Amino acid sequence: MTSSLFTRRGVIVSGLVVGGGLAVGYFTRANRGNVEQNFSFNAWIKIAPDDIVTFSVHRAEMGQGVTTSLPMMLAEELDADWSKVRYEFSGVNKEYYNFGMLPGGGRPFGPIENDPQAAARTEALRQIFRKQGLSITVRSSSIIDAHDTLRPAGAAVRAMLIGAAAKKWGVADESLTTDKGWVMDGSGDRRASYGELADAAANETPPSDPPLKDPKNYRIVGTNVPRLDSPAKVNGSAQFGIDVTLPDMLYASVKQSPVFGAKVKNYNAQEVAALPGVEAVIAVGDDTVAVIANSTWRAMKAIEQLDITYIDGPTDPMDSATLFEKYVQALDDPDPVVFAEEGDVDAAFSDAETVVDAVYDLPFLAHFCMEPMNCTALVNNTKVEVWAPTQSNTLTQQIASKTAGVPEDNVTVHTTFLGGGFGRRAEADFVRHAVTAAMAVPGRPVKLTWSREQDVQHDTYRPAAVSRFRAGLDGAGNIIAFTNTMVSQSILASSFKRSPNSRGGDARRDRDVTLGVINLKYDLPNTRIAYVPWTSDVPVGYWRSVNNSVNCFFAESFIDELAHASNADPLDYRRGLLKSEPRMVKILDELADKSQWHRPLGPGRGRGMAFSDNHGTTLAEVVEISLNDNNELTIDRVVCVIDCGIVVHPDIVIAQVEGSIIEGLGAALYGEITLTQGRVDQSNFHDYGFMSLAQSPKIEVYLLPQGKRPGGVGEPAVPPAAPALTNAIFDATGKRIRSLPIKKHDFLII
């Protein structure tokens, strides 16, 4: 293969002797004279004289296992001894940009292997991304991106070590091989460890196109090696953001405007500043007040004493009921954005024997990370240091720089473990709060922690949405026309308003709002997919699986309705719609077998399914439920068949799927953020609702890897869970649920 990492603009791999070892990373030829400075920030691989290999992990670890799976990919191509592999979190560097988060897993113009035009366009876009240098952990893209970046890095270092050994022994490179951290000759009589060769390897010229392993020869990738982060999490030494402790540290908390869009007019600063332990009371922006104290408890107790007067925002505060009424009215907007249209839709509807219509809605959802929003900051003259559980150290650096008014290069970011992310920690509002607080007490670190109530009532929520589907069927029940119109806020437009270097996004160009329906793999002739943008002061953001969790519920519920309208089995109906996608049909066939789909269930039982293709991964899920005479609902079993391409660590994949299913089911059962006069009603775990351990079903996950590239696994299993559950409820009761959460439909969930 030809990797753009080693061509175009001279980006190469090279070595640096560090304490008698070898560090390897990326830098440009123009900077070659300043190698040490570059490598101090962006080294990928370090090899110490004692043979310990340390990999730099440049993605956020929030439980999804990147501190193991990314080193696995490097170690595989390096041919390292896994028992001697370690990791460390990286700093900020533009070479850690995430190209894999783009559509197609870094293939926005389609496959590049046999398409020179697509390859050229992809490379041009890559250069733009490299210049911007956005390092961020989103869209289940870590493994996808690493497939193109980390494997060549590991292979290049292996080649350099072989070259060093060949010179030492006076033999050709081709006569040598490697195995578990050793370079050896063909006979095995001579061998040298990577640590022994590190110094000499630093002088080797890195190959521009290092050969990569054939997957059939993998010995690390595809296995369940012990997770590298487990020991620290078991013994308590793992540092999450909320664990950061520094000498002479102060603590802070905030109170934000309870009504979105409202601004602070005045507050009783002097009175609160006189409370025990309080160091300062300051404004943060125009909608927040922070208290700095000698403990988090005292800061939070002082916050309770704040008496703040607010100025109303530019829009009228709205209730949830009113909002959804307006959404439904907006479905008839005469000028929607049409993101996709194929065939003659209107003519096809005229020829339809039957027309099926349905309107669905979903509420706002909160993230509810177990670790509340927090950040520690230290401002000292023109230098800023930040410790944050962030999904993007790049955005953290930018926000800190803009807040403190210092150059980005003067901001050092330490990324900690994340106690949950789900898209919420791709935002940086908590970073701005912490840096602002630290500016009030220069030279002293300040740990800022939001209360759970602030965390719930000032989230960046998954958008509420209303969606209308309409399909025309011929006499045989075949779909001959298909339309969808959705009303919702644009995450892109909302998040761009909060971005440090953006002027805002255009909602009418946000094609992501249709993810989960515009990318349906079903054979749907005469199709129109439309969107009506909605503007609101309610901040919306990326929630696990982004818009797929919204639109998959809508689309898979409607497909199920069409199957029943056609008197067809729901799984067989989908198989027919996917007849041109044999890889996906195979998933359905496996699902039918593993779930025993065609086995009849007894009275009071129901079985439903849903299918999804998102984040480069294809999967389908079956949910089985029980309902008794008291309308008590039990979820008995979930079966998932997933094709995520190359599987790096099977247990991590299965764990991510299991967690995703639980999150998808919990959101479907309970998840709901409601508004009263512009204020969020919910405040903590007691009035939001989550699936308990006792309510959790038996989950079976079957891996069916197909293809030569990896897909994402952190999010894809979330979207199908909700429609599979509601389709199962329909199967058991004949009641079609078109509005979530399920708790409002008179079911008692046990």
Report the candidate in 537, 541, 539, 540 with the shortest Cα–Cα distance to residue 312: 537
Show the tokens assigned to 148: 């193109």
The pairing of strands 446-449 and 374-380 is antiparallel
**Cα separation of 39 and 41, whole Å?**
5
For residues 731-743, average pLDDT? 98
On the question of pLDDT at 336 being above 50, the answer is yes
- Give the pTM: 0.94
State the DSSP H helix or E strand holding residue 576, giving kind and residue range, or none if neither: helix 570-577
Q: What share of the chain is helix, strand, coil (3-state, %, to 5)?
A: 35, 25, 40
CB atoms under 10 Å from CB of 376, counted, come to 29
Buried b (16+ CB within 10 A) or exposed e, 358-371: bbbbbbbbbbbbeb
One-letter amino acid at 154 equals G
Which pLDDT score, from 0 to 100, does residue 43 have? 59
On the question of pLDDT at 51 being above 70, the answer is yes
Which residues in 416-478 belong to E strands, given as ranges?
446-449, 465-473
Burial class (CB in 10 A: 0-12, 13-18, 19+), 302: buried
Read off the pLDDT band of 22 (50, 70, 90): low
Burial class (CB in 10 A: 0-12, 13-18, 19+), 462: buried
Which pLDDT score, from 0 to 100, does residue 710 have? 98
Alpha helix stretches (DSSP H) within 173-287:
194-201, 230-235, 269-273
**Cα separation of 321 and 260, whole Å?**
17
For residues 710 and 144, the answer to whether their CB atoms sit within 8 Å is yes
Alpha helix stretches (DSSP H) within 79-134:
103-106, 116-132
Which pLDDT score, from 0 to 100, does residue 244 have? 99
For residues 385 and 358, the answer to whether their CB atoms sit within 8 Å is no
For residues 340-359, average pLDDT? 98
On the question of pLDDT at 653 being above 70, the answer is yes
For residues 616 and 608, the answer to whether their CB atoms sit within 8 Å is no
**Cα separation of 679 and 370, whole Å?**
23
φ/ψ of 324, rounded to 5, equals: -70, -30
Tens-place pLDDT, residues 411-457: 999 999 999 999 999 999 999 999 999 999 999 999 999 999 999 99
Read off the pLDDT band of 316 (50, 70, 90): confident
For tokens 């089985």, the residue is: 624
For residues 521 and 450, the answer to whether their CB atoms sit within 8 Å is no
Alpha helix stretches (DSSP H) within 283-334:
296-303, 320-330
Which pLDDT score, from 0 to 100, does residue 38 have? 28
For residues 491-513, average pLDDT? 87
Which pLDDT score, from 0 to 100, does residue 1 have? 26
Q: Give, to the nearest 10 degrees, the angle between helix 142-169 and helix 66-78.
A: 30
For residues 313 and 256, the answer to whether their CB atoms sit within 8 Å is no
CB atoms under 10 Å from CB of 224, counted, come to 11
Percent of the chain with pLDDT over 70: 94
For residues 521 and 581, the answer to whether their CB atoms sit within 8 Å is yes
Tens-place pLDDT, residues 145-172: 999 999 999 999 999 999 999 999 999 9
Which pLDDT score, from 0 to 100, does residue 314 have? 83
For residues 130-149, average pLDDT? 96
Report the candidate in 520, 588, 521 with the shortest Cα–Cα distance to residue 551: 520
The alpha carbon of 744 is separated from its chain's Cα centroid by a whole number of angstroms, namely 29
Q: Give, to the nearest 10 degrees, the angle between helix 570-577 and helix 548-565.
A: 110
Domains of the chain from N-terminus onward: 4-235 (3.30.365.10), 241-313+373-449 (3.30.365.10), 320-364+461-749 (3.30.365.10)
Report the candidate in 330, 317, 448, 440 with the shortest Cα–Cα distance to residue 388: 448
On the question of pLDDT at 13 being above 60, the answer is no
Q: Give, to the nearest 10 degrees, the angle between helix 142-169 and helix 194-201.
A: 80
Which pLDDT score, from 0 to 100, does residue 502 have? 67
State the DSSP H helix or E strand holding residue 698, giving kind and residue range, or none if neither: strand 698-703
On the question of pLDDT at 193 being above 50, the answer is yes
For tokens 């501190």, the residue is: 67
Which pLDDT score, from 0 to 100, does residue 202 have? 84
Q: 187 versus 56: which is more confidently predicted?
A: 56
SS3 41: helix
Read off the pLDDT band of 29 (50, 70, 90): very low
State the DSSP H helix or E strand holding residue 495, giving kind and residue range, or none if neither: helix 491-498
Which pLDDT score, from 0 to 100, does residue 315 have? 82
On the question of pLDDT at 128 being above 60, the answer is yes
Report the candidate in 93, 112, 117, 116 with the shortest Cα–Cα distance to residue 102: 112
The DSSP secondary-structure symbol of 739 reads: B
On the question of pLDDT at 358 being above 80, the answer is yes
For residues 548-572, average pLDDT? 99
Read off the pLDDT band of 458 (50, 70, 90): very high
Show the tokens assigned to 184: 């050896």
Read off the pLDDT band of 10 (50, 70, 90): very low
**Cα separation of 334 and 323, whole Å?**
19
Segment among 3-17, 197-211, 321-335 with least mean pLDDT:
3-17
Which pLDDT score, from 0 to 100, does residue 745 have? 97
Show the tokens assigned to 56: 């730099």
